[in-house]
Homo-oligomer: A and B are copies of this chain.
Amino acid sequence: MKPVCLIIGAGAGVGGNVGKRFAREGYHVALCRRTDEEGLARLVSEIESAGGSASGYLLNAVEENSIEDRITAIEEDIGPIDVVVYNLGAQVGDRPLEETSYKVFELGWRMGTFGLFRVASTVCPRMQERGHGVLLVTSSTAAMRGNAGQHSHAAAMGGRRMLCQSLNAQYGPKGIHVAHIVIDGAVDAPDTLGRMLGPEKFQQLRETQGANDGLLRPEEVAETYWHLASQHRSVWTHELDLRPFSTLPWWNH
């Protein structure tokens, strides 16, 4: 039986590419995303064509029980989940306080912080029983510092980061590797950044930045996710940052 890698937030960017990478290593990849059934089916069939094993699920992470039920079903139907990649963004677009409704602020928390808490609550006790597991958490600049227009996003991501540290403190010694991955730049991903900017602006950005290496290439991001998951447990990374060579880190300007 193949070990299972569950990816929550499996679009054509980081999530999908991490899925492909783990499938190549012999994992069954359970791919979840909120919408775009067609894109999801395409991803599954790409993985299968390459000789891998995958299944796809539409999942609305903010819906009650959605995450919990999916995890339970996968564990029962497919097998023990060895790796979870929590790859949901909580980006609601730059907006000043007066345009950040309570609903938007709460939605940021539900995706950014609470969803991860629900995942961990469901999966960590199982992993602890088995003595091992990996929880890779995609995060962002906003987890490191707040900024104007980031009221919802930064609060959600700051919560995410502190939650990762709390999970690590409890579960690291139990053999569960929790890693917080700070993506500090724009990812060359058509269905997140691309959709946010629109196709024209996105292509423009790609060209300005250098289409080949000015934005984070998601298949290369996946290499680092894979590296994290394969670190020997005497040498674990809890936090690292990722950005293109041409992008200044968040602490510079």
Inter-subunit contact A224/B213 (CB<8 Å): no
Residues of A within 8 A of B (CB): 96-98, 100, 102, 105-106, 109, 113-114, 117-118, 120-121, 124-125, 142-151, 154-173, 175, 177, 188, 212-217, 220-221, 223-224, 227, 230-246, 248-253
- A241–B158 alpha-carbon span in the complex (Å): 18
Inter-subunit contact B235/A172 (CB<8 Å): no
Find chain B residues with CB under 8 A from A216 CB: 234-235
A16 to chain B, nearest CB (A): 16
- A223–B144 alpha-carbon span in the complex (Å): 27
- A42–B215 alpha-carbon span in the complex (Å): 44
- A177–B241 alpha-carbon span in the complex (Å): 13
- Could you say which of A166, A224, A241 has the most chain B C-beta atoms within 10 Å of its C-beta? A166
Inter-subunit contact A235/B221 (CB<8 Å): yes
Given contacts A146-B165, A252-B145, contact A232 B237 (CB under 8 A): no
Pick the contact of A217 from B163, B227, B234 — CB < 8 Å?
A: B234
Inter-subunit contact B177/A165 (CB<8 Å): no
Inter-subunit contact A155/B159 (CB<8 Å): yes
Pick the contact of A157 from B162, B175, B241 — CB < 8 Å?
A: B162
Find chain B residues with CB under 8 A from A242 CB: 235-237
Find chain B residues with CB under 8 A from A248 CB: 169, 172-173
A237 to chain B, nearest CB (A): 5
**CB-based nearest B residue for A188:** B234
Find chain B residues with CB under 8 A from A142 CB: 162
Inter-subunit contact B213/A234 (CB<8 Å): yes
- A223–B125 alpha-carbon span in the complex (Å): 29
Pick the contact of A165 from B147, B220, B231, B245 — CB < 8 Å?
A: B147
Given contacts A120-B97, A159-B109, A251-B251, contact A233 B238 (CB under 8 A): no
Inter-subunit contact A237/B240 (CB<8 Å): yes
Jot down 7 A-B pairs with beta carbons below 8 A, ordered by A.
Answer: A98-B121, A102-B121, A105-B114, A146-B168, A159-B162, A233-B245, A234-B245
Inter-subunit contact A236/B244 (CB<8 Å): yes
**CB-based nearest B residue for A176:** B245
- Could you say which of A121, A142, A159, A220 has the most chain B C-beta atoms within 10 Å of its C-beta? A159
Given contacts A145-B251, A217-B234, contact A162 B168 (CB under 8 A): no
Find chain B residues with CB under 8 A from A117 CB: 102, 105, 151, 155
Find chain B residues with CB under 8 A from A96 CB: 170
